[in-house]
Amino acid sequence: MSLRKQAIEGLFWSAVQSWGSSLLVVITYIILAAFLGPAEMGLVAVAAAVMALLDIFVSQGFSTAIIQRPELSPEYPDTAFWINLAASFFVSGLALALADLIATLLKQPQIAPIIRWLTPGLVVGALSSTQVAILRRDLAFRTLAIRRLIATSVGGVIGVSMAATGYGVWSLVGQSLGSSFCGMVVLWSAARWHPALRFSKSAARGLTGFGIHVVGVQVLDFLHRRADNLIISFYLGAAALGYYGMAYAVLATLTRILTETGAAVSLPVFSKIQNKPEQMSHGFLTVTRLTAFLAFPSFCGLIVVAPDLVSTFLPSRWQPTVPVMQALAVMGIAQCVTYPNATVLVACGRPGLRLWLQILNAGTALIAIFVAIPWGTVSAVAVALAIRAIVTWPIRIAVTRAVVPVAWSAYCRQLVAPALGSAIMMLAVACLRWALRSTLEPPLLLGMGVAAGVCVYLMVMSLLARSSLKETADVLRTSLPWRL
């Protein structure tokens, strides 16, 4: 099978994995929100952020190193597996021993037992990470999609069942562990590769040399994307974090749907053409154009319909989520449209350059958060983060241009039509909501707003960028394998 056909089929199955699991996660989250309050959701969000940081030091960037290597000898995945597994036991031991101290430092003593119960997830992740990397490298996204959907479904059933029977915050812990264990079992049953009792010092040096930059990027990415949870919890409390976490869950779901599919496929594909600048440039602009075509209307539409979305699916106690969700939607546009930048840097073997870019992202994000904290509301934090994302956007493009020869004019042309079409769509939907707000209930307003937004955007884009509309339709059509 040619690389193009592999990429197209991989795109389909990556979409199944990303979209299907994201939909299941959102449904589960909404159901759990009916049983749990903002403070309970916030507590688990803090513990999950701590575990996410620890997991970075377990994986050590080896998965990315395996995907990026042009040629992969057998000793590399074996070595990566055993190092990751050893690291998971060590880090888990530290987490168990330091859970009380971590809880005290974060001013959330209730999270100590939650952290202890979540530590098995680190070992489970280590048992799965190398196999996932090999499947991604081989563009075997069908296996990954099935595994993710099964694991997410099982975790959701466990979490909802526990919440319905009164387990409270522990239902979220059960959901996380159940999903992790189920995913590992499915992966080991389906994957062709299994580790051998082999360890190579030269492979370890090669993995570490590349992985250390990836770890640095991931730590900075944590500060960029997850440190806000810890800071909000520390200064504003668990309930404020609950509101922020709910809004961020919607942002993260949309972001995964719009970027995870392309990112999973584009990294191995870009890695295979990393020495062909013209193809890299064309591929980068194509992925950016397709992402902008979907990201602008998705997040702009969310800004308009957020009040109806929250009123339709969540209890009234979650209403403070609305302004946070609207502000984060602005940040979501910048995150989605610039995601190909990081993929290109890694694929071209420039993790060090990506590290410097993440220093910028993390530093400016922390500055924005601490500037907004004195205002005393989580909405102010969300607005500050949105402003920071827009201000730093050109810098991220400039860094990418140091590796991929892309003209500014060519890049900006990919964004003009989606941005203008989304602005017109927002105006149309806002007028419709204003006219009908006193006669229709939120669920009907939401449905009509979404339907009207899709129709208006497609009509505008058929006039402004018919080629982009056709290109997107072609990708969606040709990505469907004729035998599933």
Which of the listed residues 167, 197, 225 is the one where a domain comes to its end?
Answer: 225
Do 325 and 347 have their domain in common? yes
Which of the listed residues 170, 195, 225 is the one where a domain comes to its end?
Answer: 225
Q: Is residue 232 part of a domain?
A: no
Q: Long-range pairs for 164-168 at CB < 8 Å and ≥24 separation?
A: 164/35, 168/36, 168/40
Residue 149 is predicted with a pLDDT of: 84
Do 335 and 480 have their domain in common? yes
Q: How far apart are CA 441 and CA 311, in angstroms?
A: 9
- Taking CA 461 as the corner, what is the angle to CA 419 and CA 388, rounded to the nearest 5 degrees? 15
Do 334 and 451 have their domain in common? yes
Q: Is residue 234 part of a domain?
A: no
Residue 267 is predicted with a pLDDT of: 58
Do 347 and 382 have their domain in common? yes
Do 211 and 261 have their domain in common? no
Residue 468 is predicted with a pLDDT of: 66
Written as six digits, the tokens of 201 are: 């010092």
pLDDT along the chain (484 residues), means of 10: 54 63 78 86 87 81 70 79 88 92 89 92 88 77 79 90 89 91 86 80 76 73 80 90 89 79 58 67 81 91 94 89 94 87 72 75 89 92 93 87 82 90 94 89 92 93 77 56 41
Q: How far apart are CA 104 and CA 335, in angstroms?
A: 33
Residue by residue, DSSP assigns 170-236 as HHHHHHHHHHHHHHHHHHHHH-S----S---HHHHHHHHHHHHHHHHHHHHHHHHHTHHHHHHHHHH
Residue 480 is predicted with a pLDDT of: 46
Q: Are 280 and 57 in contact (CB under 8 A)?
A: no
Do 321 and 413 have their domain in common? yes
Residue 204 is predicted with a pLDDT of: 77
Do 211 and 256 have their domain in common? no
Distances (CA, A) of 69 to 10, 33, 142, 267, 452: 19, 43, 22, 11, 46
Written as six digits, the tokens of 383 are: 């607005």
Q: Is residue 19 part of a domain?
A: yes
Query: Can you state the angle between helices 238-255 and 227-236, rounded to 10 degrees?
Result: 160
Q: Is residue 231 part of a domain?
A: no
Residue by residue, DSSP assigns 224-266 as HHTHHHHHHHHHH-HHHHHHHHHHHHHHHHHHIIIIIHHHHHH
Question: 482: buried, middle or exposed (CB in 10 Å: 19+, 13-18, 0-12)?
Answer: exposed
Q: How far apart are CA 294 and CA 201, in angstroms?
A: 45
Q: How large a percentage of the chain has pLDDT more than 90? A: 29
Q: Is residue 86 part of a domain?
A: yes
Question: 234: buried, middle or exposed (CB in 10 Å: 19+, 13-18, 0-12)?
Answer: middle
Distances (CA, A) of 170 to 55, 163, 251, 361: 21, 8, 24, 33
pTM of the predicted model as reported, rounded to 2 decimal places: 0.76
* Residue closest to 151 by CA, chosen among 108, 113, 180: 180
Which of the listed residues 225, 249, 279 is the one where a domain comes to its end?
Answer: 225
State which residues form the domain around 30. 1-225
The CB density around residue 469, as the number of other CB atoms within 10 Å, is 19
Distances (CA, A) of 66 to 61, 140, 206, 261: 9, 15, 10, 19
Q: Are 291 and 411 in contact (CB under 8 A)?
A: no
To the nearest 10°, report the CA torsion of 364, 369, 375, 376: 180
Q: Are 295 and 422 in contact (CB under 8 A)?
A: no
> How do residues 185-214 score in pLDDT, each as one tens digit?
888 887 777 888 888 887 777 777 777 767
Residue 263 is predicted with a pLDDT of: 58
Do 43 and 192 have their domain in common? yes
- Residues contacting 428, CB < 8 A, separation 6+: 452, 453, 456
Largest CA distance in the chain: 71
Q: How far apart are CA 262 and CA 456, in angstroms?
A: 26
Do 216 and 264 have their domain in common? no
* Residue closest to 474 by CA, chosen among 303, 293, 251, 281: 293
> How do residues 14-52 score in pLDDT, each as one tens digit?
666 666 677 777 788 788 888 888 888 888 888 888 888
Q: Are 284 and 273 in contact (CB under 8 A)?
A: no
Domains: count for the chain: 2
* Residue closest to 3 by CA, chosen among 276, 192, 259, 256: 276
Do 71 and 165 have their domain in common? yes
Written as six digits, the tokens of 322 are: 């609305």
Residue 371 is predicted with a pLDDT of: 93
Q: Are 422 and 394 in contact (CB under 8 A)?
A: no
Q: Is residue 233 part of a domain?
A: no
* Residue closest to 46 by CA, chosen among 94, 110, 92, 95: 110
Do 177 and 268 have their domain in common? no
Do 269 and 408 have their domain in common? yes
